[in-house]
């Protein structure tokens, strides 16, 4: 199929377009192969790809270069892992590269037809993005050979033109997108996404172009040393010195609002600090901001390793509602509690559903509820994952050169009555929704009814429950 024949309405009511030429602003496919290599194959495979890329870019042709990059990135990888990456990681970066004008051009010419996307990339890389975010019915890409659940790295015979011709009875018109036009395209704004991007996975927080990937390899050795220094500061120094010393290493903190003073003698229970969940470090940062060494973080699915190294007390919850309620109530009687009622992290400007358990516990214990709006800014790595090793989440956040953490302590909200809390009725749900809205309005985030189960089903293909033996 000629590169110029980009959008073709046919008499079979199918609109056919070449995905990279029609939608993507950048002609380089290196970032997508780097994501496959790094997220599923490891840093050594990504380093090997970067080492050979100048040869692939300037010596061999585009078609041969794609074949060689496919071999370097795919050989020996489990097919399930790559397919999961195609659904959970790559869509974000494809959306990041989509041109507003290109997408509008495709959608304006659709006129009710089904969409068929033709791609130069392996189909497993683009199918999740094209189907889930563009509504494409059929994706035609290169197929990679696999044996016993592993990719060999070699491509099957190219049958894309044959598949396209089977779908085309008669070409009605052809739209040509010139490279000079694409240089003028603007990035696709988030509010123009065909489908909201709420969940995505992967460690990289930047688009891995060749220069950016080279900078990553140069930074990592220094970054590992910095992680150790930052960890020792947080673990060994007194609370009042931790934030100033971490700031000297490049970390940035912004604390606003006025948290309430602790009740004298702890009469009437402690304070329940309720925050949205961005990383596993949220409760620690809030405790540091309060200079409260006795605050307790109640968390789900935190590894034993992270419990041991945490400078604040961590109490794991069991996902048994009654038992968790008793645990939180007992802690709140004797001190302050930091809780993230979303139950899992969310990277994008959305809030997941807040479990009402915290409100019911606070109402029954006569404690205060203080919403805390938390946000994080990173430049290299995300400090959260759904399918990777969660015990490394804090390390990846600390591996960023200058990560930003902000926490805004908002005005305390009324707790449900003790009777409503004890009955588990609407009082707790109303308070939970109210706290979610207050935090969402403060951050400019959109409130949703999605849960941690929804997130893990999308990103990891499971419910996200970690057994005690794990």
Print the SS3 string covering 280-299.
CCHHHHHHHHHCCCCCEEEE
pTM for this model (two decimals) = 0.88
466 confidence band (pLDDT: 50, 70, 90): very low
Check residue 434 and give its pLDDT.
93
pLDDT digit string (tens) for 385-435? 988 888 899 999 999 999 999 999 999 988 776 545 555 555 788 999 999
Check residue 362 and give its pLDDT.
84
For 234, counting Cβ atoms within 10 Å of its Cβ (0-12 exposed, 13-18 middle, 19+ buried), the class is buried
Q: For residues 58 and 228, is the Cβ–Cβ distance under 8 A?
A: no
Q: For residues 155 and 145, is the Cβ–Cβ distance under 8 A?
A: yes
What is the C-alpha to C-alpha distance for residues 263 and 292, in angstroms, rounded to an integer? 13
Q: For residues 401 and 250, is the Cβ–Cβ distance under 8 A?
A: yes
Print the SS3 string covering 33-93.
HHHHHHHHHCHHHHHHHHHHHHHHHHCCCHHHHHHHHHHHHHCCCEHHHHHHHHHHCHHHH
Check residue 173 and give its pLDDT.
46
- Higher per-residue confidence, 317 vs 301: 317
pLDDT digit string (tens) for 70-120? 999 999 999 999 999 999 999 999 999 999 999 998 888 777 778 889 999
pLDDT digit string (tens) for 186-238? 999 999 999 999 999 999 999 999 999 999 999 999 999 999 999 999 999 99
Check residue 458 and give its pLDDT.
86
Q: Report, as an integer, the average pLDDT of 356-366.
A: 80
pLDDT over 70, % of the chain? 87
Check residue 420 and give its pLDDT.
54
For 397, counting Cβ atoms within 10 Å of its Cβ (0-12 exposed, 13-18 middle, 19+ buried), the class is buried
Q: Is the pLDDT of residue 468 over 70?
A: no
Check residue 108 and give its pLDDT.
82
Judged by DSSP in three states, 375 sits in strand
Residues in the chain: 470
- Higher per-residue confidence, 134 vs 269: 134
């Amino acid at each position: 199929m000629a590169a110029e024949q980009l959008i073709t309405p046919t008499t079979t009511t199918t609109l056919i377009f070449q995905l990279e030429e029609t939608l993507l602003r950048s002609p380089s496919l290196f970032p997508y192969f780097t994501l496959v290599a790094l997220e599923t194959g490891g840093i050594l495979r990504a380093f090997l790809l970067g080492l050979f890329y100048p040869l692939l870019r300037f010596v061999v042709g585009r078609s041969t270069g794609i074949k060689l990059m496919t071999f370097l990135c795919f050989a020996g990888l489990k097919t399930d892992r790559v397919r999961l990456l195609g659904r959970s990681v790559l869509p974000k970066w494809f959306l990041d590269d989509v041109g507003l004008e290109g997408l509008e051009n495709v959608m304006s010419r659709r006129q009710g037809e089904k969409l068929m996307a033709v791609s130069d990339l392996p189909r497993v890389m683009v199918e999740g993005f094209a189907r889930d975010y563009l509504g494409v019915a059929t994706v035609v890409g290169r197929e990679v050979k696999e044996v016993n659940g592993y990719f060999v790295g070699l491509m099957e015979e190219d049958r894309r033109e044959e598949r396209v011709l089977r779908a085309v009875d008669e070409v009605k018109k052809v739209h040509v997108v010139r490279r000079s036009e694409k240089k003028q395209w603007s990035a696709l704004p988030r509010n123009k996404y065909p489908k909201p991007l709420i969940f995505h996975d992967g460690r990289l927080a930047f688009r891995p172009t060749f220069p950016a990937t080279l900078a990553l390899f140069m930074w990592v050795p220094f970054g590992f040393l910095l992680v150790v220094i930052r960890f020792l500061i947080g673990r060994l120094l007194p609370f009042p010195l931790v934030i100033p010393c971490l700031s000297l290493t490049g970390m940035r903190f912004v604390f606003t609002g006025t948290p309430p003073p602790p009740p004298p003698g702890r009469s009437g229970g402690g304070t329940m600090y309720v925050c949205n969940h961005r990383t596993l470090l949220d409760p620690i940062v809030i405790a540091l901001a309060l200079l409260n060494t006795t605050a307790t973080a109640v968390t789900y699915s935190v590894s034993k390793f992270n419990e041991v190294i945490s400078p604040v007390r961590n109490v794991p919850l069991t996902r048994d509602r009654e038992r968790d309620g008793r645990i939180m109530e007992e802690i709140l009687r004797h001190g302050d509690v930091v809780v993230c009622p979303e139950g899992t992290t969310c990277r994008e400007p959305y809030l997941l559903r807040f479990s009402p358990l915290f409100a019911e516990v606070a109402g029954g214990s006569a404690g205060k509820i203080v919403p805390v709006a938390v946000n994080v800014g990173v430049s290299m790595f995300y400090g959260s994952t759904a399918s990777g090793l969660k015990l490394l989440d804090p390390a990846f956040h600390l591996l960023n050169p200058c990560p930003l953490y902000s926490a805004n302590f908002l005005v305390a909200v009324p707790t449900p009555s003790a009777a409503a809390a004890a009955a588990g009725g609407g009082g707790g749900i109303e308070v939970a929704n109210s706290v979610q809205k207050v935090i969402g309005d403060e951050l400019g985030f959109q409130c949703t009814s999605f849960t941690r189960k929804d997130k893990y089903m999308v990103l990891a293909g499971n419910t996200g429950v970690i057994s005690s033996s794990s």
